[in-house]
Amino acid sequence: MNYKFSIAILALLILSGCATTSPTKQDNLCEIFREKSGWYDDAKDMTEEYGTPINVAMAIMKQESSFRSDVRPPRTKLLGFIPWSRPSSAYGYAQAQDPVWGEYEDATGGGSRSSFDDAIMFIGWYTDGSQKQLGISKWDPYNQYLAYHEGRGGYKRKSYQSKPQLIKIARRVESQAKTYGWQLKQCKAELERQSSWWW
């Protein structure tokens, strides 16, 4: 009895560990969805709700958190070595900060920033808002990422123009989104079959 109980506990620990680890092959969207059961369905739900392409939302998430559920910005150092405050309240898969996550909660009922399905919905909600307020196409990962990173007010002020490193990162997101889009075309039928089988 004790042996079976120990095995059951070990299995639960392994499963819980798998639930929070980031995907091993992050440059391949097909491999991400194969490894992370349920993520494709969550991403598809986001597209159905907000119209943001899966590849664009996933490219933004990869840049923001590398698909880590509990990541926060590193703490600053006081006197060069004492851990101090964090530069922002960004947290979770989508690196959503407290104020904008609060807006999302007010608008939708919210959820958890450390939950993939809630985080991907947040990205869909935000990019949808950027299209409505700023006229940025949901198929434009470059400008969508700039608005996501700088906030819509910062994007309107073109704050990104003085940040050459951010411009490079936005181009990287754009390139990743294109790669993800091509990859998704190769495995979409497979993912749809798995999705149908699951339900």
Model pLDDT, residue 196: 60
Which regions of the chain does DSSP assign to beta strands (E)? 77-78, 82-83
Cα–Cα distance for residue pair 105/21, rounded to 1 Å: 25
Three-state DSSP state, 99: helix
| Whether residue 165 has pLDDT greater than 50 | yes
Q: How far apart are CA 52 and CA 19, in angstroms?
A: 25
Within a 10 A sphere around the Cβ of 172, how many other Cβ atoms?
16
Determine if the pTM surpasses 0.85: no
* pLDDT of residue 11 exceeding 80: no
Could you tell me the pLDDT band of residue 69, with boundaries at 50, 70 and 90? confident
Domains of the chain, first to last: 28-198 (1.10.530.10)
Residue 52 DSSP class: -
The two three-digit tokens of residue 121, written as one number: 């919905």
Q: Which of 15-24, 79-88, 138-147, 190-199 is least confident?
A: 79-88
> What tens digit of pLDDT does each residue of 28-60 get?
999 999 999 899 999 999 999 999 999 999 999
pLDDT tens sequence across 134-143: 999 999 999 9
